[in-house]
Amino acid sequence: KTVTERGIPNAGFLRTRIEFISSLFAEGEVSEIWITFPDPQMPKQRAKHRLTGSLFLARYAKILKEGGMINLKTDSQFLHEYTKDVIAQNALPVEVANNDIYGTGYADETLSVKTAYESKFLAQGMPITYLRFSLGGKREFCDITEDVENKLQELRPDRADN
């Protein structure tokens, strides 16, 4: 809706299985990827489905232009920390890492565009996090270590020992 209202000609939205992304765009065609409020896939056995994991970064690397950016906006502290760990593990350049874009006043005109999920999470008092990073010209990526994954599992809100 906002893209149409603002007359932004170079934005597109897809509702498809992410596994098909490399067949929908040519190599180097995409300037930015926005991942907004995805399922964080918290259980260890679901790690390969996390949209900022090594398998997906390799797919994004094929379609991103040189210097292209990935933006992650989420309410999930788990996914935010996981993505920061993936970034660190792969020594990727980070432009922004913010743990609470509204609480810190970081949310600019673009970041202030709210999805329905975002409005719901804000009403519940949950902070909205944001990461903006590039792949630094890399095409292959490492997964986080088992030790890091175990540490992240402690952030799960559904764990009884939290």
Residues marked as catalytic? 39
* CB of 27 closer than 8 Å to CB of 132: no
Give the C-alpha separation, 32 to 71, whole Å.
7
Secondary structure element (H or E) that encloses residue 74, with its range:
strand 64-74
* Residue 141 near residue 133 (C-beta atoms within 8 A): no
* CA–CA distance, 128 with 110 (Å, rounded to integer): 14
Nearest to 130 by CA among 63, 61, 83: 83
